[in-house]
Amino acid sequence: MEQITVKLPHKEYNIYIKKGLLNILPETIKENFNFSKLVIITDDNVKSLYGDKLVKSFVDIGINTFCISVLPGEVSKSISVAEKIYKDLLKYKINKGDLVIALGGGVVGDLTGFVCATFLRGIPFIQIPTTILSQVDSSVGGKTAVNLEEGKNLVGAFYHPEAVFIDPDVLETLEEKYISDGMAEVIKYGCISDNKLFEILYEAGDYNNLRNRINEIIYRCIDIKREIVEQDEKESGIRMLLNFGHTIGHAIEKYYNYNKYTHGQAVAIGMYYITESSERLGKTKKNTSQKVKEVIQMYKLPCKIEKINKDKIIDTIKLDKKTRGNKINIILIKEIGESLIETIDMLDLKKYI
Ligand SMILES: NC(=O)c1ccc[n+]([C@@H]2O[C@H](COP(=O)([O-])OP(=O)(O)OC[C@H]3O[C@@H](n4cnc5c(N)ncnc54)[C@H](O)[C@@H]3O)[C@@H](O)[C@H]2O)c1
């Protein structure tokens, strides 16, 4: 079993990666954590695939276990769903001596993290991520949030889990579009900080060929995130590197009302546009954008939008919560595996799209 420890000034927690981990989890959690009751928060898809069995396994070893299931998808990352969960937790008389598990993708992880950060001003929780995106990225680093009608992740908190348990076997049931979505984040990690990871992705050529190396892929991504988060938990500096491709990506998602491009697709487009531009401006080694494009396409992601309206995308970026006055931080790569933060004037943004 692979293990990574995240060490923050105020908290330390372990991330475990192992194929088949889900099967031995109830005993492991019972032995290693001190708690009375257990609540598993999941979504309806994951519940029927893994949740029901997991609940039964906990009950079988004598743990008083409750299950709360929400509708799959972004629609559940809302204040109203969070409120409903608070009420269920009260009904089950959950307190700080109990334990919550987030079993699902990034939606369940963000929602559960937010609920646990705020319920009784903080109750302990564990992440069991079940999508690529959540296994390589969102379950680590402590960002939790829900959406408002006006935008995504507008209400949230930094709140870390007690542990993260990753079983790559569950990815076998994931739909192909979510595989591609998660691969956008994997490609991001290669681009910003791990040339070797990028080469592995390049040589594999597609996700099928990557399957037997998935533990290593997850490990590499999380270890990069660990290193960055340990240095800059609250994203005042180096953590911004994780936003490579995301500034343009978020604007694309938002501009198309979140129904034309998925997050991963929008990030892939963002990574390619910014790299093509920075290469043109002489800030990125020649041919880097071509390589980025090839890898993006290998993992069935788009790298361009037809007839992009740059001004509208820029207007949307101006509303991004990461914008500061007339300045914005953009993330560029000098070459594959090396990234930097550049603060530019909003007026210069057009050069990068
Ligand atoms: N907190 C962070 O640092 C962070 C980082 C990146 C993204 N996010 C958030 O993550 C969310 C997206 O997460 P996601 O892409 O995991 O989407 P998701 O949670 O909506 O999961 C995608 C779909 O896959 C299904 N699913 C999950 N696991 C499955 C499995 N093993 N087999 C079959 N189906 C399965 C779900 O039911 C859902 O329908 C967004 O809300 C985004 O804002 C958070």
- Looking at ligand 1, which atom is closest to the CA of residue 77? 41
- Read off the CATH number of the domain in which 114 is found: 3.40.50.1970
Query: 134 C-alpha to center of ligand 1: Å?
Result: 6
Same domain, 216 and 329: yes
SS3 182: helix
In this structure, are strands 2-7 and 12-17 parallel, antiparallel, or unpaired?
A: antiparallel
Neighbouring residues of 2: CB distance < 8 A, sequence distance ≥ 6 = 16, 17, 18, 215, 219
Q: Do residues 179 and 132 make contact, with C-beta atoms less than 8 angstroms apart?
A: yes
Same domain, 164 and 186: no
Same domain, 234 and 346: yes
Residue that is written with structure tokens 């791990």 in the block: 194
Give, using CA atoms, the residue closest to atom 36 of ligand 1: 72
Final residue of a structural domain among 134, 149, 173: 173
Q: Do residues 253 and 261 make contact, with C-beta atoms less than 8 angstroms apart?
A: yes
In this structure, are strands 38-43 and 12-17 parallel, antiparallel, or unpaired?
A: unpaired
Task: Return the number of other C-beta atoms located less than 10 Å from residue 17's C-beta.
Answer: 21
Query: 346 C-alpha to center of ligand 1: Å?
Result: 32
Same domain, 190 and 337: yes
Same domain, 206 and 320: yes
Structure tokens at 125: 């929780």
Neighbouring residues of 138: CB distance < 8 A, sequence distance ≥ 6 = 105, 106, 109, 110, 129
- Looking at ligand 1, which atom is closest to the CA of residue 44? 37
Q: Give, for all 353 residues of the chain, the pLDDT tens digit.
A: 999 999 999 999 999 999 999 999 999 999 999 999 999 999 999 999 999 999 999 999 999 999 999 999 999 999 999 999 999 999 999 999 999 999 999 999 999 999 999 999 999 999 999 999 999 999 999 999 999 988 889 999 999 999 999 999 999 999 999 999 999 999 999 999 999 999 999 999 999 999 999 999 999 999 999 999 999 999 999 999 999 999 999 999 988 888 899 999 999 999 999 999 999 999 999 999 999 999 999 999 999 988 778 888 888 888 776 677 788 999 999 999 999 999 998 888 888 87
Query: 279 C-alpha to center of ligand 1: Å?
Result: 32
Same domain, 133 and 234: no
Q: What percentage of the chain's residues is helix, strand, coil (to nearest 5)?
A: 55, 20, 25
Q: Which residues line ligand 1 (CB under 6 A)?
A: 43, 45-46, 49, 72-74, 77, 104-108, 110, 130-131, 133-134, 137-138, 141, 143, 152-153, 170, 173-174, 178, 181
- Read off the CATH number of the domain in which 308 is found: 1.20.1090.10
Query: 21 C-alpha to center of ligand 1: Å?
Result: 19
| Cβ burial 179-211 (10 Å sphere, 16+ → b, else e) | bbbbbbbbbbbbbbbbeebbebbeebeebeebe
Same domain, 43 and 94: yes
Give, using CA atoms, the residue closest to atom 5 of ligand 1: 138
Final residue of a structural domain among 173, 207, 228: 173
- Test site for ligand 1: of 131, 239, 243, most ligand atoms within 8 A of the Cβ: 131
pLDDT of residue 309: 81
Task: Return the number of other C-beta atoms located less than 10 Å from residue 322's C-beta.
Answer: 13
Which domain covers residue 98, as residue numbers? 2-173
Same domain, 265 and 345: yes
Same domain, 255 and 229: yes
Query: 8 C-alpha to center of ligand 1: Å?
Result: 25
Same domain, 226 and 310: yes
Final residue of a structural domain among 173, 192, 212: 173
Same domain, 57 and 127: yes
Q: How many domains does the chain have?
A: 2
Same domain, 108 and 210: no
* Displacement of CA 117 from its chain's centroid (Å): 18
